[in-house]
Structure 1
Amino acid sequence: MNPDPDPCPALWLASGSPRRRELLEQAGFVIAGRAHPSGPVDESLLPGEMADSAVVRLARAKLDAALAAPLRAAGAVLLAADTLVVGPDGRPMGKPVDAADAEAMLASLSGQWHRVITAIAVGDGQYHRDAVVDSRLRFARLSAETIRAYVATGDPMDKAGGYGLQGRAGSFVEAVDGDCSAVIGLPLAATCRLLATFDLRPAWMGRGDMDRGDTE
């Protein structure tokens, strides 16, 4: 049997997030492995930087750091992403530095609408493509007791805004305007369109069924 003359490139995830890997695998993508960055990426925001531009810059920085490291397969395609939560006051919210910070974040989100912005960056060392998805969420009103109990679980500490929709905090969300998968950490529809431009598709999808779409 002749080998496939046009095989799909290998997909490597330039992210340590188990949630992003789970989302990609649920969609049917085969992930070759995790691409470790060549060095740490500073996720600090620049003075006066807007969340919409910061999230793209950080996703691209993570991609570049992973591309700079030795790749494990020729022609590999790498995917990186970054998510920022923007509070009701319009200020970006990163990951809490401690329990008190997490409690303050959740208190500010209680009973309010806020934004979750996720950027995806995909590249193979020669080309790269970016996409941004902006969603809005409304939290239920949270008592101080509920916030303290949630923070005590440790769940908020590695998550932007101090919560994760796919975990215990899913019960806090009253409404979502936008892409739920983007709020979890990886907007699947936008990601599929980006990966299609690199000839990558879910394993269950035939090559002829792939819709490259318009990612601009």
Structure 2
Amino acid sequence: MLLVLASASPARLSVLLAAGLDPLVEVAGVDEDALLASVPDATPAEKVTTLAGAKATTVARRIDLADAVVVGCDSMLHIDGDLVGKPADADEARARWRAMAGGTGELVTGHAVLRVVDGEIDRVAEGHAVTVVRFGEPTDAELDAYLGTGEPMQVAGAFTLDGLGGWFVEGVDGDPSNVIGISLPLTRRLLAGVGVTVTELWPAGPA
């Protein structure tokens, strides 16, 4: 059985690699803005789960595999009533950090796990995870330096937990792997929902 990660995120891949899995990476390339526009009244959880499902489904229909599990994820930050993804530029990232410094936000990640059998989608399990993030207060000089790295423009909410942004996160309440981009506990449960135990995907031990 092959595990396929329907995401270009190196952070999600690193979480899975550290947890003993070695997925094939297949980027979906869906139009996220169009998908979000199609569900304007959905909750934050519904929006990110819709995106995750679209990514996983796109990849599952593209690959030609007899036995596989496809995992799709999408993360956004819910803060002050707004649901935000990657900032468009450094000015937007700066404005976000000034708004969230010293406060909290909810990192919401939608997950979709699809079981592919004989090239067809056989079973689907979806869900979402929410982790509260408590932000620090970087100085103007620190924020300038952080923005200069380009990292904030590559990630939802303009911050990371596992990268340079971790210096400016005071703590999290909930699953930290969810903040990085994929919740291991939720993914384990969703795998079970399509008839797969996570240990089946671990590398084989010594003969």
Q: TM-score, normalised by structure 1?
A: 0.83
RMSD: 1.8
User: 1:43 maps to which residue?
Assistant: 32
Letter in 2 for 1:155: E
Within 5 Å, give how 1:88-127 maps onto structure 2. 89-124=80-115, 125-127=121-123
State the 1:36 CA deviation.
Answer: 3.8
Bigger Rg over Cα? 1
Task: Return the structure number with greater helix share.
Answer: 2
Q: Secondary structure at the match of 2:122?
A: coil
Post-superposition Cα deviations, 1:105-147, rounded to whole Å, max 9, x if no partner, equal 1111100011001111000212110121111011112222222
2:53 maps to 1:52: no
The one-letter amino acid paired with 1:96 is P
SS at match of 1:68: helix
CA distance in 2, matches of 1:205, 1:121: 25
Q: Could you list the runs of 5+ residues in structure 2 that have no partner in the other structure?
A: 116-120
For the 8 Å contact 1:14–1:62, the answer to whether it is kept is: yes
d(CA) in 1 for partners of 2:166, 2:63: 38
The offset of 1:28, in angstroms, is 1.4
The equivalent residue for 1:18 is: 10
- Hey, which bits of structure 1, 4+ residues long, moved more than 4 A? none
Q: Which runs of 5+ in 1 are unaligned?
A: 1-8, 207-216
2:198 counterpart (201, 206, 210): 201
Residue 200 (structure 1) shift: 4.1
Residue type of the partner of 1:183?
V
Count of matched residue pairs: 193
> Does residue 140 in structure 1 map to residue 129 in structure 2?
no
Write the distance in 2 (CA, Å) between the matches of 1:200 and 1:26.
Answer: 18
Letter in structure 1 aligned against 2:125: R
Quick one: which amino acid aligns to residue 122 of structure 1?
Answer: V
What is the identity percentage for the equivalent residue pairs of Structure 1 and Structure 2? 35
Structure 1 residues 33-59: Cα deviation after superposition (integer angstroms, max 9, x where no partner): 12343xx31222333443111011110
1:15 alignment partner, SS class: coil
Structure 1 position 205, deviation (Å): 8.6
| Comparing 46-55 and 147-156, the one that deviates more | 46-55
Q: Which residue of structure 1 aligns with residue 126 of structure 2?
A: 130
Q: Could you tell me how far apart the structure 2 residues matched to 1:23 and 1:157 are?
A: 20
Superposed, 1:150-161 pairs within 5 Å as: 150-161=146-157
CA distance 1:176–1:36, shift in 2 (3 Å) = closer
TM-score under structure 2 normalisation?
0.86
